[in-house]
Every structure is written in C-alpha cells, then in structure tokens.
Amino acid sequence: MFKAMALICSVWIVNGKAEQQCFTHMFKWEFESQKECELKLVRYRIYELPKNQKIILDDCIRVKKS
C-alpha cells in the first residue's frame, strides 16, 4: 500500500506584507500502486490545490497495511 505526502507552502498578505509558511502534509489517501498515487498527486496539484499554495516536494511512500 502507498500513501502520498507533500511539502506545501502557503502565501498570504498581512498588512501589505507577504507572509509564507510551509508544512509537511500526509494525505489520507491510500493506493495499491505507486503509479496510482503519483497520478493522484498530479491531479491534486493541477485541479484541487488552492491558488495560494504550492507543492514544493511530493512523494509516494510504501506503508504497511494496518
């Protein structure tokens, strides 16, 4: 089983100044293959990611079934 994780940075404006914060996010999605996981990350980046966020790094990691 594979799970997706990403380093995501958010940008917003406070009092006329740009602020930025980055965080590591482990998605709840589970996949049978690495290819499925990678395709979901691409789709998420293109269609679902808010405009004020950017994925810096992403990866699909193998996890043991629980």
Q: What angle do CA 47, 4, 27 make, to 5 degrees?
A: 75
Give the C-alpha separation, 29 to 8, whole Å: 16
Q: Which tens digit of pLDDT belongs to each residue from 21-57?
A: 999 999 999 999 999 999 999 999 999 999 999 999 9
Q: Per-residue DSSP letters for 38-66?
A: HHHHHHIIIIIS-TTEEEEEEEEEE----
This prediction's pTM: 0.83
